[in-house]
Structure 1
């Protein structure tokens, strides 16, 4: 789901709401709302808030950000937790500890979302999105969940089972700058004071070459389709 229209329609189906219900809740005209559903126009910010309230979904999700559809504060048990499981990988990597497939619970299904390489010796984790074309854009940017104390557990819940130590952990996220279409590896370090991760701008050169190649291919795909 890459568009606002697709997300509105998905939420309407999930919440069992019809167009007439949204129009009644929000005061938006039937014609205007129809144009939103068709993708002809995107709602302005004030209308987006009204629609999100009517559907009882997170406004950020409606805009396409990589956050749960439901309000986190109202649905703590439905967080999109990542589960790591041992898996054979197409990447042949020497002198590194383990590679996993990270599964996310999303839309009532368990979906493979990331390759996760754990370098236990350095207490570092490398995260490469599995670029599934129907919703790849959700994972181009480093997920905002890392930067909130009540949400980083989406990615760190299983640290103990994979022998990572949260308090000294470093995470490398392999994404794409959507403005320049350039691959971008974001280094994250954990702050014990704030109980969340922050972007560490220190120079780093320990990227996984095989992961970089995958991001480069996706960046080229994104750039070619944007032209």
Structure 2
């Protein structure tokens, strides 16, 4: 059984959950999905991990690192269960608002170090750039349009997880959608939201007064 753990604060509506759902379609093994926010008892997590053949943690990048909810989970697991999981393969799939997926590499390194401390086997990570955009393309098939790179990455990642083997961290970004267009679309979205909230466009560029 593959344990899929969603660490996003946006829960089932999150992009993290969407990418975990895409991963499910490519896994050969049975799986169990868990929303981290629903777990109030770490003993439940311990039991799930002991039953699992591998674990995949999905989460967004927050300030170049892991979300506070996931950080607390990692700390408590370390304090209570360090060394109790004999080389369980742990994988991580992360998405970020930055176009450049390399911005997620620090998060992958954090999880890798945590796995080392816990006694887990770090199997590898998948970092998805422009996650806010790719997360909205639910009707676009994998391997088509902007999802082409994502589809290839998801399949490679799923194959490694199913085989319980280590894989080099994978970085993916939108296909056929250059960075400059992504930034332009992001700016338009900010302008739209500012108007909806009664702000003029120039308010987005205001800076605090410095004496």
Range of TM-score over shorter length: under 0.3
**TM-score by structure 1 length?**
0.24
**TM-score by structure 2 length?**
0.25
**Larger-gyration structure (1/2):** 1
* Higher strand proportion: 1
* Higher helix proportion: 2
Q: Which of 1 and 2 has higher RCO (CA within 8 Å, sep 6+)?
A: 2
